[in-house]
Every structure is written in structure tokens, then in C-alpha cells.
Amino acid sequence: MAIGCKDPQRWTTRCFDHFLGASGQVLFRKYPDTLDTLLAIAIATFIPMTHLSVNLNKVALLRNARTLDLPSVLWAAETCIEAGAHGLTVHPRPDERHIRRRDVYELAELLQAHPTLEFNIEGNPLEPGFMQIVRDVQPTQATLVPDDPNQFTSDHGWDIHKDGDVLKPIIEALQDIGARVSLFMDPDPEQIRRIRPLGVTNDQARIELYTEPYATAHREHRADAVFGDYAEAAKVAQSEGLGVNAGHDLNLENLPQFLTIPNILEVSIGHALTADALKMGLHKAVQAYLAAL
């Protein structure tokens, strides 16, 4: 069995398809057992696995509907950790409509006991308070999102041509405290190529592809019409030395196709996972998403 893989045969075929194309598929069909054993080592050693970062915003939104701490965001975080999630994501907005400032600090304290898990803080660095939270907490990753305070949800990526000069000192400040920088981006190769000149020096810097258009297309049975845009954007980012994350409206139905794009490092999923948790329980929902990776 491939180390760290939920479905070793699927990962084996994906690796052969990626590196050897059709000839790799022939080899796999001819020598499935031998190749699976050999590639288990190669996959675990050389091929980056997609990590699941569970977004806790919707748990906090439900909690905020009453004055009770129910459901507890900390309980949800602990449950996700026990179920095997690789990290946690929060988006502390200025109006605290879901995640509150104190939640971020409490989660950071919780994660001190889990040093291998990643903490991802999302938000607009131009909004009051965001950079101070990041400086205080020093998360593994800071995902910068260009959303307006009154915006219903994040719905577009950065325009680097317009916002690049503003982002430069912010990126530098984040790199100085050791946080990995990730920029929320549309699948636009031209915009992605503008990122490195902003002074991104950390070789672990990433983008997060905004996937709502893909999710909508998948739901409407026309995913192929936009899938190529995402595959090309990921390829361009990787050629620029940027890691690729993805998030927004990904779910159990559309995630497998999206992850045929090579080397997606992380998916941040909250809304759909929380909805699925109402049906199957949070622990089982996290495990279901892990199995889909």
C-alpha cells in the first residue's frame, strides 16, 4: 500500500500518467502489483500529496447565531485534527460575522500541541487588524484575499497589475515573520506571471486558485469548458516556482476531477464539508474528504 495514500492504485496510475503518459498506463496494466509496490516508495518520497485544510468559518457562523459557545470552534478543530486533517483555515473578517479575533488566538494555542499541522489565516491585508493578527499568531500560511468588508463571500482574485505596489511591502512583512505567502488568484496566467516580481523570495510561496467558477461549471455539467484554464494556470504558477493551492466551493463531487491537475498542494474546504457534516458527522466528513484526495 502506498504510504500516506488513501487509494494507492489511483495514485499509482496518476503518477504514471503524469510522468510517462500512455506508455506508463500500459506498464501499469501489465505489472500492477510490482509497480504499485515500487511507486509507493516513490510517491511518498517525491510526489507532493494534496493536503486538506478545513475551513472553520461556517462552524463559527452557526455558533454566532446564539450567545452560547455552541458549536465550539475549538471542539470542531480538535475533531478535524483527530480525523486526520492536515491543517485548519480561518478568515477573520472585520465584522466578525463568523470567525472572531479571539478564535484565531485560541486556535493558535491549540495548534501548539500539534506542530505538524498547518494554520492558514485568510483575509484582506488592507483591512484593519488583519496584519496585527498575523504578526501575533505567526501562522504557517497567510492567504491574502482581495475582498471588501461588505462582500458576501470572496469572489475574485488579485489584480496584480493594479494592486502589486500595495502588496509588495505586505509580502515582505509576512516573509520577515516566516509566514508562507499565498495569493488568492483567478486562473489568469498573465496575472500569475506578475507575482514573482513583487519580491516573493520564499521558495515556498504559493497561490490559491479561486475555484468557484469551476465548481459552478461542474454543477452545470460543463466543467470541461473551464477545467483547461485551471490546469494551465497551475502549470504557469509551478513554472514560476509558486506552489498551487485551491479553494472555494470544492466538494466531494467536483474535487476528484480538479485534483487530476498535477501537484495541487492544498485544498481549503469549509462550506461543503460543514454541510456534509450535518449528514454524516464532522469526523466522518473530514475522513470522506481525505479519501477524495
Residue the block writes with cell 489568469: 188
207 and 237 in contact (C-beta within 8 Å)? Answer: yes
Sketch the domain layout of the chain as residue ranges. Answer: 1-47, 49-292
Higher local confidence (pLDDT), 97 or 249: 249
Is there a catalytic annotation at residue 271? no
Q: What torsion do the CA atoms of 193, 48, 77, 256 make, to the nearest 10 degrees?
A: 80
- Is 152's pLDDT higher than 60? no
Instruction: Please tell me what DSSP assigns to residue 50.
Output: P
Is there a catalytic annotation at residue 248? yes
pLDDT tens sequence across 20-30: 444 444 445 55
- Which DSSP helix (H) or strand (E) runs through 169? helix 160-176
SS (H, E, C) 225-246: HHHHHHHHHHHHHHHCCCEEEE
- Is 32's pLDDT higher than 70? no
Q: Could you tell me if residue 95 is left (phi over 0), alpha (psi between -120 and 50 degrees) or otherwise beta?
A: alpha
- Is 36's pLDDT higher than 70? no
Catalytic hit among 118, 122, 208, 266: 122
Is there a catalytic annotation at residue 221? no
Catalytic hit among 91, 98, 208, 218: 91
**pTM (predicted TM-score):** 0.83
- pLDDT interval class at 19 (50, 70, 90): very low
Handedness of CA 5, 265, 258, 93 (dihedral sign): positive
pLDDT tens sequence across 179-213: 999 999 999 999 999 999 998 876 789 999 999 99
Strand partners, 120: 89, 141
The CATH number of the structural domain formed by 49-292 is 3.20.20.70
Residue the block writes with cell 479519501: 291
- Is 5's pLDDT higher than 70? no
Catalytic hit among 51, 98, 218, 248: 248
